[in-house]
């Protein structure tokens, strides 16, 4: 074996040369990897004893893509295009041997090869769209030539990988080889290619056709999903080019569109989130070597919407759950809803039919809190009432086994106060799931003053097990997400009293990229959440709507009126209530611009985020971005509120806050941190 460089080796097995990439963790295409592969292929081609070349990777995966950390830096070494050219124009067959995930530039490399073999567990995909990009190394031109335009469209615009079996069926992979012996299987395949004198199949030489209607139909069918994003459309245009232009012309088009995306803000934002999400899993002051506690069984208290959704996460991950309710009807209802949710997923094909029973079989419903005595983790998901929560935690303190983790799903209450009801505050943590808890990806892990490091480590690890993105928050009212949400809600309410209508505010935030605006959201959630008929004094617009029986979608009206299909139209009654309320408060309503609506909803959030950082509630600005993207639908192509603040420029945000502070007072008083960063010409990203 010869080492070409630190990350690529060249060895021989008879007439077959084997180029092995070994660049942990994911064999990304860094400059040394590209150089090494190009050198390896060139050297194997010039070796008269070599008849074919296998390209394989060591470690957990085939090449998982371009090296994202190189993006935006000056180019170094052999470019990805050059390297793929060297592979494709090799005069001896090159066989890519795939395990793990062949993603992005990794799959593009494999598409440059003449043949591809894979183990059955391998996955192949072009996820660039998720980074706001397109497969810019020929992927958009070669993939459709192999799998057809329609399948290619789906792959490049979803970014989702396909399994090896599907890849075999579509021709993307030529043969599946033994899971346990990829190298042996690939060499055997290469020997077969040599023995049978198979041709050097270059994908670039193939052509692809498509029904011209395909593209318009695909755009129309996915318009909602792609709304606001630049990358899906650029990807579609590339596949169109593959169908309408010769290979070189298509490559040129791909390059132009790629550069447009690469230099844009959206891709920068989406790449920021890729790293931010991984960064969020790291707790800065966790002592090295902290070992998580094993979690083999979970208890959930409360079988309502939250408790049921929370339980489903664990059941789906194969962890048994004991769910406790106080009355049999509520228990039965909760369990029934969980089953219905699983059945709906199975009907949609998102879940194997047999998984419904398997998941439900792991659930033990009970009315007896004592049944939680052996659970490793117990999550309380009852009303947001401190007295009730403390009562439950005091009971848990008596019931739970030593070392069990006691968690509260509170969305804003003081976790330290809850922990004080126990004799073991080190075992208490907040696990704030977002509704619907079986779907939403965010988990706020709320760290109490006394929460033990291994409890935090367990929570972070568990989040990954159940497919959530965890963000650590300190204790304060509303933690990271809801505290910032309140800053936005306060402004949304103020705006409708000053002159905007709920549908104006909703439209501006929808156009910004949120899935829905605050008033639509309120109608969906139910206006009477946290509202009390007995104590309501008609002080707010919401109070009056509720008093009038207009409690949101479930009652057919709220800020909007809804028909049977839940289509909405602005509510006349809501408008009258708003106008009356403005008049009562002596406010002369005025025309409010879309720009003001946006700034007044978003800048206070950024400002609150800065306070959250100052107080150490969040570890880093990018954690806040992750929370808002995965918990509240902040558009990922804007990178989250803090990244967006950087994009606008902190000086501009500060100026905006000061302008509104003069008119509207202290709600806009700039955070010290924000003012300092703006004064120093810095960004939040300097703190990450």
- Residues at the interface with ligand TC6 (CB under 6 A): 25-26, 28, 61, 64-69, 80, 101, 103-105, 127-128, 131, 133, 135-137, 278
Nearer to ligand TC6, 104 or 308 (CB): 104
Of 103, 125, 130, 341, nearest in space to 225 by CA: 130
Partnered with residue 57 across adjacent β-strands are 21
Q: In the bound complex, what is the minimum distance in angstroms from residue 317's beta carbon to ligand TC6?
A: 15
Nearer to ligand TC6, 32 or 135 (CB): 135
Distance in angstroms (rounded) separating the CA atoms of residues 66 and 131: 12
Annotated catalytic residues are 108, 128
Of 604, 502, 609, nearest in space to 558 by CA: 502
Distance in angstroms (rounded) separating the CA atoms of residues 428 and 406: 5
Return the DSSP state at 618. Answer: B
Nearer to ligand TC6, 126 or 546 (CB): 126
Q: In the bound complex, what is the minimum distance in angstroms from residue 607's beta carbon to ligand TC6?
A: 30
Q: In the bound complex, what is the minimum distance in angstroms from residue 460's beta carbon to ligand TC6?
A: 13
Q: Work out the angle at residue 248's Cα, subtended by the Cα atoms of residues 246 and 254, and round it to the nearest 5 degrees.
A: 100
Torsion, Cα of 83, 70, 276, 677 (10° steps) = -160
Nearer to ligand TC6, 106 or 552 (CB): 106
**CB distance 378 to 404 below 8 Å:** yes
Nearer to ligand TC6, 61 or 78 (CB): 61
Q: How far apart are the first and last CA of the chain?
A: 42
Distance in angstroms (rounded) separating the CA atoms of residues 423 and 415: 14
Q: In the bound complex, what is the minimum distance in angstroms from residue 147's beta carbon to ligand TC6?
A: 18
Tokens representing residue 645 in the block: 């603040």
Q: In the bound complex, what is the minimum distance in angstroms from residue 600's beta carbon to ligand TC6?
A: 36
Q: In the bound complex, what is the minimum distance in angstroms from residue 66's beta carbon to ligand TC6?
A: 3
Q: In the bound complex, what is the minimum distance in angstroms from residue 28's beta carbon to ligand TC6?
A: 4
Nearer to ligand TC6, 25 or 289 (CB): 25
Nearer to ligand TC6, 60 or 206 (CB): 60
Nearer to ligand TC6, 33 or 428 (CB): 33
Of 168, 416, 447, nearest in space to 285 by CA: 447
Tell me the Cα Rg of the chain.
28
Reduced 3-state DSSP string for 10-42? EEEECCEEEEEECCCCCCCECHHHHHHHHHHHH
**CB distance 118 to 173 below 8 Å:** yes
**Residue reference for tokens 């995930």:** 101
Angle between helices 231-244 and 247-262 (to 10 degrees): 170
Partnered with residue 570 across adjacent β-strands are 560
Distance in angstroms (rounded) separating the CA atoms of residues 651 and 454: 41
Q: In the bound complex, what is the minimum distance in angstroms from residue 313's beta carbon to ligand TC6?
A: 18
Reduced 3-state DSSP string for 83-97? HHHHHHCCCCCEEEE
Q: Where are the alpha helices (DSSP H) in 474-540?
A: 481-498, 502-512, 518-525
């Amino acid at each position: 074996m010869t080492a070409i460089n630190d990350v690529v080796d060249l060895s021989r097995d008879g007439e077959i040369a084997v180029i092995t990439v070994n660049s942990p963790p994911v064999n990304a295409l860094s400059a040394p990897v590209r150089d090494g592969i190009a050198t390896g292929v060139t050297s194997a081609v010039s070796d008269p004893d070599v008849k074919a070349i296998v390209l394989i990777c060591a470690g957990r995966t085939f090449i998982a893509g371009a090296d994202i950390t190189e993006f935006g830096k000056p180019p170094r070494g052999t470019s990805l295009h050059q390297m793929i050219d060297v592979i494709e124009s090799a005069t001896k067959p090159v066989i890519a041997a795939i395990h793990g995930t062949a993603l992005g530039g990794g799959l593009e490399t494999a598409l440059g090869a003449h043949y591809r073999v894979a183990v059955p567990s391998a996955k192949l995909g072009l996820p660039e769209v998720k980074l706001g990009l397109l497969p810019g190394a020929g992927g958009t031109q070669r993939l459709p030539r192999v799998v057809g335009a329609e399948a290619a469209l789906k792959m490049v615009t979803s970014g989702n990988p396909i399994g090896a079996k599907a890849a075999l069926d579509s021709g993307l992979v030529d043969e599946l080889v033994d899971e346990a012996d990829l190298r042996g299987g690939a060499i055997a395949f290469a020997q077969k290619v040599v023995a049978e004198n198979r041709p050097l199949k270059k994908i670039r030489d193939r052509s692809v056709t498509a029904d011209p209607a395909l593209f318009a139909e695909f755009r129309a069918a996915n318009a909602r999903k792609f709304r606001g994003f630049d990358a899906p459309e650029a990807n579609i245009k590339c596949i169109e080019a593959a169908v309408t232009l010769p290979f070189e012309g298509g490559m040129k088009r791909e390059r132009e569109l790629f550069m447009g995306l690469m230099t844009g803000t959206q891709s920068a934002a989406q790449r920021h989130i890729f790293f931010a999400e991984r960064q969020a899993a790291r707790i800065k002051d966790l002592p090295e070597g902290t070992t998580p506690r094993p979690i083999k069984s979970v208890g959930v208290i409360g079988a309502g919407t939250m408790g049921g959704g929370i339980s489903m996460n664990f059941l789906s991950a194969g962890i048994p759950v004991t769910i406790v309710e106080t009355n049999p009807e509520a228990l039965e209802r909760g369990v029934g809803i969980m089953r219905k949710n699983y059945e709906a997923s199975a009907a949609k094909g998102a879940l194997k039919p047999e998984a419904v029973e398997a998941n439900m079989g792991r659930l033990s419903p009970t009315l007896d809190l004592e049944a939680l005595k052996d659970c490793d983790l117990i999550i309380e998901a009852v009303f947001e009432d401190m007295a009730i929560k403390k009562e439950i935690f005091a009971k848990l303190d008596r019931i739970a086994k030593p070392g069990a983790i006691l968690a509260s799903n509170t969305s804003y209450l003081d976790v330290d106060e809850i922990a004080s009801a126990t004799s073991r505050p080190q075992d208490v943590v907040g696990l704030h799931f977002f509704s619907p808890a079986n779907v939403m990806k965010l988990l706020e892990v709320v760290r109490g003053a006394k929460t033990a490091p291994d409890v935090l480590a367990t929570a972070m690890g568990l989040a990954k097990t159940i497919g959530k993105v965890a963000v650590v928050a300190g204790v304060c009212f509303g933690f990271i997400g809801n505290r910032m949400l309140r800053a936005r809600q306060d402004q949304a309410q103020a705006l409708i009293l000053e002159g905007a209508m709920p549908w104006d505010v909703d439209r501006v935030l929808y156009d910004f990229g949120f899935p829905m605006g605050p008033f639509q959201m309120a109608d969906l959630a139910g206006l009477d959440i946290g509202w009390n008929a007995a104590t309501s004094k008609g002080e707010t617009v919401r109070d009056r709507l509720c008093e009038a029986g207009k409690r949101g979608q479930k009652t057919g009206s709220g800020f909007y009126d809804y028909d049977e299909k839940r289509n909405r139209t602005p509510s006349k009654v809501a408008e009258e209530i708003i106008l009356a309320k403005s008049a009562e408060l002596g406010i002369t309503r005025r025309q409010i611009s879309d720009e003001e609506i946006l700034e007044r909803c978003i800048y206070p959030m950024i400002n609150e985020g800065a306070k959250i950082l100052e107080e150490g509630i969040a570890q880093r600005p990018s954690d806040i971005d992750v929370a808002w993207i995965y918990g509240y639908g902040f558009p990922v192509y804007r990178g989250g509120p803090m990244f967006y603040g950087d994009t606008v420029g902190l000086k501009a945000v500060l100026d905006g806050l000061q302008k509104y502070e003069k008119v509207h007072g202290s709600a806009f008083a700039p955070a010290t941190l924000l003012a300092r960063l703006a004064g120093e010409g810095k960004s939040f990203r300097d703190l990450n």
